[in-house]
Chains A and B, each alone.
Chain A
């Protein structure tokens, strides 16, 4: 069964450093998402991406965040200058036909900012 994959599984970085989290969505999917989950809290929407552009972003997704689909398979989330409060689990998700189609989640990248 096709699945969303994410790398790395765990990323440790120093405050102020740039990180790039990588995702490979399911191959025939057209809609891509990033969510985050701070330890013990709910999963929060960050951004959705369709047709090579951001379709919606949350208040969390400020100028420090960016997304890119550099080729036909990868979908990346970049945090330019990490803060302690960026420490969280970051999930990538994809769907065929938009938000009310099933969103399939990857296993997540645990980001730890020291």
Chain B
């Protein structure tokens, strides 16, 4: 089945810097890749997603890139702010196949003021 690896496990940046989190997946049939942000004591919240028919998607300070050949996708946060501090999870799933999202282990992002 699908396996998603996520790096780094922790990331500390200064406010205003960029942060990049990378994920790789194993199943070439996976075609949907959401990113979730989890704040302390809350459930995961979708922040951006990408499907395999596009290579990049951007929403204000957040962007996601997908390389299907290499089977990896990345989250880019620019101009980081202290409120971006949270745990970020990548996930993968297969349209028309499994019902489930397979998550990475998460990255704890700390943005220092």
Give chain A nearest CB distance to B30 CB in angstroms.
Answer: 10
- Of listed A4, A44, A104, A105, residue having the most chain B CB within 10 A: A105
Partner-contacting stretch, out of B12-20, B55-63, B70-78, B97-105: B97-105
Interface residues of A in 44-70 (CB under 8 A from B): 44-45, 48, 50, 55-56, 58
Interface residues of B in 64-113 (CB under 8 A from A): 89, 91, 93-95, 98-106
Asked if A106 is at the interface of the complex by the 8 Å CB criterion, the answer is yes
From B46, B98, B102, A103 is in contact (CB under 8 Å) with: B46
Cα-based distance from A58 to B51 in the complex (angstroms)? 24
Give chain A nearest CB distance to B68 CB in angstroms.
Answer: 16
* Residues of chain B within 8 A of A4, CB atoms compared: 43
Contact-residue bracket for chain B: 20 to 34
Q: Decide if B99 touches A48 in the complex (CB within 8 Å).
A: yes
Q: Decide if A100 touches B31 in the complex (CB within 8 Å).
A: yes
* Residues of chain B within 8 A of A104, CB atoms compared: 46
A residues neighboring B (CB under 8 Å): 4, 31, 33, 35, 41-45, 48, 50, 55-56, 58, 91, 98-100, 102-108
Q: Decide if B43 touches A105 in the complex (CB within 8 Å).
A: yes
Q: Decide if B101 touches A99 in the complex (CB within 8 Å).
A: yes
Q: A100-B51, A105-B36, A106-B43 are known contacts. Are A42 and B98 too (CB-CB below 8 A)?
A: no
Cα-based distance from A64 to B46 in the complex (angstroms)? 30
* Residues of chain B within 8 A of A105, CB atoms compared: 36, 43-45
Cα-based distance from A98 to B62 in the complex (angstroms)? 25
Cα-based distance from A107 to B94 in the complex (angstroms)? 25
* Residues of chain B within 8 A of A31, CB atoms compared: 99
Query: Can you add 10 more A-B contacts, CB < 8 Å, to A48-B99, A105-B44?
Result: A33-B99, A42-B104, A43-B91, A45-B101, A48-B100, A98-B95, A102-B46, A103-B46, A105-B45, A107-B41
